[in-house]
C-alpha cells in the first residue's frame, strides 16, 4: 500500500475524550513521538510518556481510515489514549516524513523462480517446522487442480477453508516481534467475525456458529506466537463469546449436533482457560447445553454489585457501567426476539428480567414517546441509563422530553459525569440546568475541563460557587487535575507542592516546571537537573531527547533572571561529565549555540 488514506483531525478527535485529545496534542507539539515508521498499512512509533520507558503504539489504517489502534500504556478510560492521539496527529501533519519500509510482497515481487526456491529452502532449513505448512499448502493446491473433474463430489467444508485462512494469517505474523504481532489481531480475522455477525443479524445462527467456533479454536493457539502482555488479544477472544452464545441460542440443533457442539466447546474452554480467557465460553456452553431455557447463571458478579449498591456509591456505578465482558443471556434473547418481530414477548421478557433500558429504547424506536418517558421514570434508577434515553430522544427531535428526563436523572444514584456533561454540552437554551448538570458531573469526576466549564457558565455566581467546587476537587480529584487547576488559576506554589509529592509523574512535573520558571527558578533547576540525570543514567540514546527537554528548562530558569555565567558553568561541567556520549553532546549543541 503505497498511499494510505488521508485522516483528519476530526477523525482523531472522534476517537478520543476531550482530555486525551488535548494531552495527545501536547505530546505531539512537544516532540514526544519517537521512531515513527510505516510498513504497508501499519504505522508504529514509540511515545515518551510519564514513565522512563517509552510506550509502543501501533495503528492500522485502511480504505475506511483508522481500522485499529493499540498502545502498551495501562490506559483503560473511554476512547483512545493520549499516546495514540499523538501518533495519529504526527501521521496527519508529517506523513511525508515517516520512514517507510517495504511490505513482504514488495520484497519478493521481483525475485525469480530459482531465487524464491532457494529462499524457501533456506527458511525450511532455519525453521524445520515450516515443512508441515508447505505440505499442507501443496496438498490443498493439488485438490483444487482436480476440482473440475470432481464437480459432483461434496465440496470442501467451509470450516476447513476458514481454518486455512486463519492459519495463513497467523503464519505471516511469525516474522514480526511478538508484541507487534499481537497488535495485528484481529486484522483479517475481523472479516470472518463480521460475516458471522451478518448471519446472526439475518437470524441464521446455524451458519454463524461454525465460523465463530473455528475462529476461537484457532485463536486458542495464537498465544504461542504473540506477546499479549497488554491483554488485547485476550479481550478480543472474550468479545467473541457473546455473539457465539447468541448464535447458539438462535439456532436449532439436532440432539447429535448439539452434543458434538458441547464437546467442542468444552475442549476449547480448557484450551482458552490455560491463558485466562476461558470466560469467553461460559455462556456459550450454557446456551449449548440448555438452549432457550438457559438462564443468566454466569452473570453473578454484576448482580452482586447491583444488590450491594444500596447507597449512592459512584465507584460501584463506574464498575457496572465500564466493567468489560459482562454478557447477559437475557439481552441475547431480547435481540433474537426483536429480530423476529416478536414485540409482545420482547417487552414481557425485558420487564421480567429488569432490562428496562432496552424496553424504553424500543418504545422510542416505535415512536411511543410519552409511554417511553413514563416507563423510564417508573423503572430507571441509574443516571447513566437516563443519559442513553435522553440522548436518543434528543437525536429524534424530542428535546423537551429529553431535558425533562435528563434533569430528573440528575437526582438518581450513581455516576453522573456522562449525563451531566451531555446536558452541559447540548443545553445552551437552559443555562441554569446546564450549570447544575456540570456541577453534578464534576462531583462524579473532577477534571480541568469541567472546572473551566463551570466557571464560564456560573458567570457572576462564580465567586460564591468556587469554594464548593474547590472542595470537591480536593476531596475527589487526582493530584494532576488539582495541579492543573492551580496552574490555571496561576497558583504556582500550590501546584509546585503537589508536584513535589508526586515526583513519579514526569508529565505533571514538566507542566509545573514550565509554569514556575520565572517564579521559582531554583526549584526548576533542581527538579529538571535530577530528571535529566536520571534519563541519561539509563545509558540508552532514546532517552537523550527527553533529557535535553529537561535541560532546556534549566537554561530557561537560569536565563529568566540573567544568570548567564551559571548557565555557562553548567554547560562546561555537562560536557566534561558526558564527553564520551557523542550522540548526547550532538543533541546538546543546539542549546549551547542558542544565546
For the segment 74-112, what is each residue's pLDDT rounded down to a tens digit?
Answer: 787 678 999 999 999 999 888 888 888 887 777 888 888
Burial code (b: 16+ CB inside 10 Å, e: under 16) for 502-539 equals: eeebbbbbbbbbebbbeebbebbbebbbebbeebbeee
Asked whether residue 344 is domain-assigned, the answer is no
d(CA 10, CA 58): 20
Number of domains in the chain: 5
With contact defined as beta carbons under 8 Å apart, do 212 and 193 qualify?
yes
Measured CA angle at 232 (ends 226, 237), to 5 deg: 90
Asked whether residue 511 is domain-assigned, the answer is no
| Residue predicted with more confidence, 144 or 446 | 446
- Neighbouring CB atoms inside 10 A of 101's CB total 12
Assess whether 126 and 164 both reside in one domain. Answer: no
Q: What is the pLDDT of residues 407-453, one digit of tens each?
A: 999 999 889 999 999 999 998 778 899 999 999 999 999 999 999 99
Give the domain CATH number at 396.
Answer: 1.25.40
Assess whether 271 and 174 both reside in one domain. Answer: yes
d(CA 544, CA 585): 9
Measured CA angle at 281 (ends 275, 283), to 5 deg: 145
Task: Name the pLDDT band for 265 (thresholds 50, 70, 90).
Answer: very high
Which range marks the domain in which residue 133 is found? 109-137
- DSSP secondary structure letter of residue 34: E
In the predicted model, is pLDDT for residue 2 greater than 60? Answer: no
**Which one, of 250, 249, 244, 248, lies nearest residue 281 by Cα?**
244
Assess whether 543 and 464 both reside in one domain. Answer: no
Q: What is the pLDDT of residues 504-548, one digit of tens each?
A: 688 889 999 999 999 999 999 999 999 999 988 887 878 888 899
**pLDDT score recorded for residue 148:** 43
**Of 294, 322, 346, which marks where a domain is finished?**
294
**Of 481, 507, 540, which marks where a domain is finished?**
481
Task: Name the pLDDT band for 212 (thresholds 50, 70, 90).
Answer: very high
Assess whether 28 and 93 both reside in one domain. Answer: yes
**pLDDT score recorded for residue 593:** 65
Q: Report the run of H or E that residue 37 belongs to, with start and end.
A: strand 33-39
Asked whether residue 150 is domain-assigned, the answer is no
**pLDDT score recorded for residue 217:** 95
With contact defined as beta carbons under 8 Å apart, do 130 and 123 qualify?
yes
The burial of 396, by beta-carbon neighbours within 10 Å (0-12 exposed, 13-18 middle, 19 or more buried), is given as middle
Asked whether residue 245 is domain-assigned, the answer is yes
Assess whether 40 and 83 both reside in one domain. Answer: yes
The burial of 172, by beta-carbon neighbours within 10 Å (0-12 exposed, 13-18 middle, 19 or more buried), is given as middle
Give me the DSSP letters along 45-71. Answer: EEE--SSSSPEEEEEEEETTEEEEEEE
Average the pLDDT over 51-56 and give the result.
Answer: 79
% of the chain beyond a pLDDT of 90: 51
Assess whether 172 and 130 both reside in one domain. Answer: no
Longest pairwise C-alpha distance within the chain: 92
| Residue predicted with more confidence, 246 or 587 | 246
Q: What is the pLDDT of residues 311-358, one digit of tens each?
A: 444 555 544 444 444 458 999 999 999 999 999 999 999 999 999 999
Which SS3 state, helix, strand or coil, does residue 351 take? helix
Asked whether residue 318 is domain-assigned, the answer is no
**For residue 339, what is its C-alpha cell?**
429480530
**pLDDT score recorded for residue 136:** 65
Assess whether 278 and 378 both reside in one domain. Answer: no
**pLDDT score recorded for residue 3:** 63
d(CA 419, CA 407): 9
Site of grid cell 527527553: 546
Assess whether 172 and 96 both reside in one domain. Answer: no
Asked whether residue 33 is domain-assigned, the answer is yes
- The set of long-range contacts for 71-77, using a CB threshold of 8 Å and a minimum separation of 24, is 71/47, 71/230, 72/179, 72/229, 72/230, 73/49, 75/20, 77/17, 77/20
Average the pLDDT over 188-214 and give the result.
Answer: 93
Assess whether 118 and 200 both reside in one domain. Answer: no
**pLDDT score recorded for residue 98:** 86
**pLDDT score recorded for residue 207:** 92
Task: Give the bridge partners for 363, in sequence order.
Answer: none
**Which one, of 560, 556, 554, 557, lies nearest residue 573 by Cα?**
554
Instruction: Collect all residues with Cβ–Cβ distance below 8 Å to 268 and sequence separation of at least 6.
Output: 213, 216, 217, 220, 281
Assess whether 28 and 65 both reside in one domain. Answer: yes
In the predicted model, is pLDDT for residue 595 greater than 70? Answer: no
Assess whether 97 and 123 both reside in one domain. Answer: no
Task: Name the pLDDT band for 150 (thresholds 50, 70, 90).
Answer: very low
Asked whether residue 506 is domain-assigned, the answer is no
**Residue 354, φ and ψ in degrees, nearest 5:** 75, 15
With contact defined as beta carbons under 8 Å apart, do 442 and 472 qualify?
yes
Give me the DSSP letters along 370-412. Answer: HHHHHHHHHH--BHHHHHHHHHHHHHTT-HHHHHHHHHHHTTS
**For residue 354, what is its C-alpha cell?**
429488569
- Relative to beta strand 99-101, strand 33-39 is parallel
**Which one, of 290, 373, 276, lies nearest residue 332 by Cα?**
290
**Which one, of 333, 380, 342, 345, lies nearest residue 361 by Cα?**
380
Asked whether residue 498 is domain-assigned, the answer is no
Assess whether 200 and 284 both reside in one domain. Answer: yes
Amino acid at each position: 500500500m503505497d498511499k494510505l488514506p488521508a485522516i483528519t483531525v476530526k477523525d482523531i478527535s472522534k476517537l478520543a475524550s476531550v482530555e486525551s485529545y488535548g494531552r495527545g496534542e501536547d505530546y505531539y507539539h512537544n516532540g514526544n513521538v519517537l521512531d515513527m515508521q510505516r510498513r504497508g498499512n501499519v504505522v508504529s512509533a514509540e511515545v515518551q510518556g510519564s514513565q522512563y520507558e517509552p510506550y509502543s503504539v501501533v495503528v492500522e489504517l485502511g480504505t475506511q481510515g483508522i481500522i485499529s489502534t493499540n498502545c502498551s500504556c495501562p490506559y483503560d478510560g473511554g476512547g483512545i489514549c493520549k499516546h495514540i492521539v499523538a501518533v495519529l496527529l504526527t501521521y496527519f501533519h508529517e506523513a511525508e516524513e515517516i520512514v517507510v519500509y517495504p511490505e513482504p510482497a514488495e520484497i519478493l515481487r521481483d525475485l525469480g523462480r530459482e531465487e524464491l526456491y532457494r529462499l524457501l529452502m533456506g527458511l525450511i532449513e532455519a525453521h524445520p517446522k515450516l515443512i508441515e505448512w508447505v505440505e499442507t499448502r501443496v496438498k490443498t493446491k493439488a485438490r483444487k487442480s482436480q476440482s473440475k473433474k470432481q464437480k459432483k463430489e461434496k465440496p470442501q467444508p467451509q470450516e476447513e477453508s476458514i481454518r486455512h485462512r486463519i492459519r495463513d494469517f497467523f503464519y505471516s505474523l511469525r516474522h514480526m516481534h511478538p508484541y507487534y504481532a499481537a497488535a495485528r489481531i484481529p486484522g483479517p480475522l475481523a472479516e470472518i467475525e463480521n460475516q458471522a455477525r451478518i448471519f446472526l443479524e439475518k437470524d441464521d445462527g446455524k451458519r454463524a456458529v461454525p465460523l465463530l467456533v473455528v475462529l476461537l479454536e484457532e485463536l486458542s493457539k495464537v498465544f504461542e506466537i504473540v506477546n499479549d502482555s497488554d491483554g488485547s488479544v485476550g479481550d478480543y477472544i472474550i468479545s467473541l463469546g457473546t455473539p457465539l452464545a447468541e448464535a447458539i441460542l438462535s439456532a436449532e440443533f439436532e440432539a447429535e449436533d448439539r452434543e458434538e457442539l458441547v464437546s467442542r466447546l468444552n475442549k476449547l474452554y480448557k484450551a482458552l482457560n490455560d491463558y485466562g480467557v476461558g470466560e469467553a465460553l461460559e455462556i456459550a456452553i450454557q446456551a449449548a447445553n440448555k438452549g432457550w431455557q438457559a438462564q443468566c447463571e454466569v452473570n453473578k458478579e454484576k448482580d452482586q454489585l447491583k444488590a450491594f449498591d444500596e447507597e449512592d456509591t459512584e465507584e460501584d456505578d463506574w464498575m457496572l457501567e465500564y466493567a468489560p465482558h459482562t454478557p447477559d443471556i437475557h439481552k441475547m434473547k431480547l435481540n433474537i426476539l426483536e429480530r423476529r418481530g416478536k414485540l409482545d414477548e420482547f417487552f414481557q421478557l425485558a420487564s421480567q428480567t429488569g432490562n428496562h433500558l432496552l424496553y424504553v429504547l424500543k418504545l422510542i424506536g416505535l415512536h411511543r414517546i410519552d409511554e417511553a418517558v413514563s416507563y423510564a421514570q417508573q423503572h430507571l434508577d441509574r443516571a447513566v441509563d437516563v443519559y442513553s434515553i435522553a440522548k436518543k430522544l434528543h437525536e429524534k427531535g424530542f428535546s423537551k422530553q429529553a431535558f425533562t428526563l435528563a434533569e430528573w436523572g440528575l437526582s438518581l444514584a450513581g455516576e453522573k459525569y456522562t449525563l451531566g456533561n451531555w446536558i452541559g454540552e447540548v443545553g445552551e437554551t437552559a443555562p441554569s440546568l446546564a450549570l447544575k448538570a456540570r456541577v453534578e458531573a464534576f462531583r462524579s469526576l473532577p477534571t480541568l475541563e469541567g472546572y473551566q466549564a463551570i466557571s464560564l457558565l456560573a458567570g457572576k455566581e462564580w465567586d460564591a460557587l468556587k469554594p464548593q467546587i474547590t472542595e470537591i476537587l480536593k476531596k475527589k480529584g487526582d493530584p494532576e487535575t488539582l495541579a492543573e487547576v492551580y496552574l490555571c488559576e496561576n497558583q504556582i506554589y500550590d501546584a509546585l507542592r503537589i508536584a513535589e509529592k508526586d515526583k513519579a509523574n514526569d508529565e505533571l512535573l514538566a507542566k509545573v516546571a514550565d509554569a514556575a520558571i520565572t517564579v521559582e527558578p531554583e526549584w526548576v533547576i533542581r527538579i529538571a537537573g535530577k530528571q535529566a540525570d536520571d534519563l541519561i543514567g539509563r545509558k540508552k540514546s532514546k532517552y537523550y531527547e527527553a533529557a535535553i527537554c529537561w535541560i532546556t528548562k534549566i537554561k530557561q530558569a537560569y536565563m529568566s533572571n540573567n544568570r548567564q555565567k551559571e548557565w555557562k558553568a553548567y554547560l562546561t561541567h555537562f560536557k566534561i561529565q558526558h564527553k564520551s556520549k557523542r550522540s548526547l553532546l550532538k543533541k546538546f549543541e543546539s542549546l549551547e549555540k542558542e544565546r
